[in-house]
Structure formats: C-alpha cells, structure tokens
Structure 1
Amino acid sequence: MSPRLVLVGPPGAGKSSVGRRLARHLGVELRDTDADIERTAGKSITDIFIDDGEPAFRELERAAVAAALAEHEGVLALGGGAVGHAETRAALRGHTVVFLDVGLADAVGRVGLNRDRPLLLDSPRAQLKRLLDERRPLYEEVASVTVVTTGRSIDEVVQEVILHV
C-alpha cells in the first residue's frame, strides 16, 4: 500500500485545499498528517507546542507520516515541517512527492495571522520567510515534481499536478 501522491510545502502553499480537490478529482481520500497528530494527541497542534514543546510535536509528526505512508492509498498532505526529519525524507524516497512551491507574498496572504500555526505566532512574515528559506532545499530534495502555486487558482494547480503524476 502506498499513497497515490504526497503533497509537501510550506504553510500557505495550498496543501490542504489542493489536496482536497485532487483527492476528489482522482476519486480517492485525502489524509492530512496534521489532523492525524491532533487526533492522536487529543489536542490541537498549537496546544501540543505550548504544552509539550516542539520536539514532542516533531516526534508525533514523524510517527504520523510513517503510519500514513504505510497505510494510505490516496492523496497525503504533510505538515510544512515534516521534511525536517531525516527519517521522513528517507521514507519519502520512491513515492510520488509534489512540492507545492509558493512565494512569500502569496504565503503571507493565505496564512495571514493564523493562530493555528504556532511557528508563525511571533512576526508571521519574518517567521514565514525564515521557514521558506530553511525548508526549500528539503522540499526540493524529496520532490518528484515541483508545482508553483503563486498567483494561481486551486484548479490551475490541480490541473498541473495531474499532468505530472
């Protein structure tokens, strides 16, 4: 069993919205590892960060990605920081991984001041730029395909993903 495709990218790239539309178009289910983590922990990601710290969250994330890669056959959306773990990057080898690439201005516009994104609570624009800069090489490392979402509609992105997978 293996996901049909895996979506990676920073906050605001469109993983959830593109993932929902892709799954519907392909006639498969969407699984989001962030939702899996919240279900397992019994609390929101923000609360995990506050109560347990980022290292605890990252371990839950690593386990959630490993389980989803083994169990899910549809579209899989990973949290923006999942590629930070070397074990996760290794596990993604051999899968069809789509990096949804987004520019800073579009990402900020989509994320805004979303309080459900704990790493963006302090100075969201600066934090998002830092995350984009730090994680871009990791997204590129795992990607089979890169699709730019900047300035594009969900349908345009979905059509390009379908052309490449």
Structure 2
Amino acid sequence: MTPPAVVLVGPPGAGKSTIGALLAKRLGTGYRDTDADIEKTAGKPIPEIFIDEGEPHFRELERAAVRDAVAEHPGVLSLGGGAVMDPGTRELLAGLPVVFLDVQLADAVHRVGLDVPRPLLAVNPRKRWRELMEARRPLYTEVARAVVDTGGRTPQQVADAVLDALGLTATAPDTTDPQ
C-alpha cells in the first residue's frame, strides 16, 4: 500500500485538522484523522473513553488507529497530540513525510481555547499544556522530516509551508478565502 502523502503531528491547537483538510484538498487526496477513527471505533468521544476506560485503554486504541491509518491511507493523515509518546508509533513514522506543526501556547489558546473537552488538559490547562509540550516536543522533532511554525500564519500559509517543506506541489488551486 502507498504510505501517507503527509502526516501531521503536534499539540492541541496546532491546527492539524484544519491544515490536514486543506492539504488534502490542495493535493487532491483524502484526509484522515486518527482521533476521529478512535471515536468511530469506540462509539463515543475521546473524553468519554478517558473517563470510562482510562488513558491506557485510549492509548491502545490510538496505537491501533495509527497503525491502521499508516498502512491503509495514502492521503493526508493527522495524528492525535499524544500519539508520538508510543515508541511503536514513532517507529511506524520513520521515513514517512511527517511534519511537526509547532505552535506556541498563546496561539493554541486563541485557536481552540483550552476550555474545550481535552482530558489531559482538564486541570490548569495552560500549565498542563506547557508540561505536555516539554515532554512531547523532542518526540515531535524526532519523528518529523520538517517543522513548520504556525505562529502568525493563516491556514493557507501554513499549508504552503508544509508543501514547501516536503517539496510537494498542489494539484488543486487554493480556492479558500484568506482568514
């Protein structure tokens, strides 16, 4: 099977879903989000999985979702923010066109707010986000072929930077309105 054209990693608020969908459209391919795959498999939202079955069960579902998506999806793929914590997932990503969408806390707060239901950010979300980034940043960097800073950029500009970083050419014009 053909590997994914682009794999996006990064923390909550980096824009993985927005940029992933935009890249897929511009590359004329499909888009897949492993968090959506997990919710479909479990039949419930991720926060409920954390509450009902706990984080270890969620991480098992996440490992399986990433493994399946990498094997089956030739388009643009977004991984959940914590997927890179698993050594097996990092091995699966070796050699793939992975892009770390880097974002600073202020931009993440502005984009998604940190009051939305994110299980690992439930208590003192700003402090917890910083702690997660401290632990995850080296892993995002380890798996990434390229790092794209999203700060101060529109989704279209970030998508352009991802395409440039990977040496890809859009097959469909960008018909979205600038934000």
For Structure 1 versus Structure 2, the TM-score category normalised by the shorter chain is: over 0.9
- Count residues in correspondence: 165
Give the match's secondary structure for 1:129: helix
Stretches of structure 1 that go unaligned for 5 or more consecutive residues are none
Question: Partners in 2 of 1:133 and 1:106 — Cα distance?
Answer: 16
Question: Partners in 2 of 1:26 and 1:79 — Cα distance?
Answer: 22
Mark the structure with the bigger radius of gyration. Answer: 2
1:92 and 2:93 aligned:
yes
Question: Partners in 1 of 2:117 and 2:91 — Cα distance?
Answer: 28
Could you tell me which residue of structure 2 aligns to residue 14 of structure 1? 15
Question: Partners in 2 of 1:16 and 1:106 — Cα distance?
Answer: 15
Question: Partners in 1 of 2:66 and 2:12 — Cα distance?
Answer: 17
Question: Partners in 2 of 1:113 and 1:76 — Cα distance?
Answer: 23
| RMSD of aligned residue pairs (Cα, Å) | 0.8
1:124-135 matches, cutoff 5 A: 124-135=125-136
Q: Indicate conservation of the 8 Å contact 2:4/2:73, yes or no.
A: yes
Question: Identity rate of aligned residues, in percent?
Answer: 60
Stretches of structure 2 that go unaligned for 5 or more consecutive residues are 167-179
Give 1:111 deviation, angstroms: 2.6
Q: Indicate conservation of the 8 Å contact 1:102/1:150, yes or no.
A: yes
Question: Partners in 1 of 2:47 and 2:120 — Cα distance?
Answer: 9
1:146-157 matches, cutoff 5 A: 146-157=147-158
Question: Partners in 2 of 1:116 and 1:73 — Cα distance?
Answer: 30
Question: Partners in 2 of 1:2 and 1:10 — Cα distance?
Answer: 23
Give 1:31 deviation, angstroms: 0.2
Question: Partners in 2 of 1:116 and 1:20 — Cα distance?
Answer: 22
Question: Partners in 2 of 1:99 and 1:138 — Cα distance?
Answer: 10
Give 1:124 deviation, angstroms: 1.1
Could you tell me which residue of structure 2 aligns to residue 71 of structure 1? 72
1:85-124 matches, cutoff 5 A: 85-124=86-125
Q: Indicate conservation of the 8 Å contact 2:114/2:126, yes or no.
A: no
Question: Partners in 2 of 1:105 and 1:123 — Cα distance?
Answer: 15
Give the match's secondary structure for 2:148: strand
Give the match's secondary structure for 1:43: coil
Question: Partners in 2 of 1:28 and 1:53 — Cα distance?
Answer: 34
Could you tell me which residue of structure 2 aligns to residue 32 of structure 1? 33
Give 1:120 deviation, angstroms: 1.1
Q: Indicate conservation of the 8 Å contact 2:14/2:103, yes or no.
A: yes
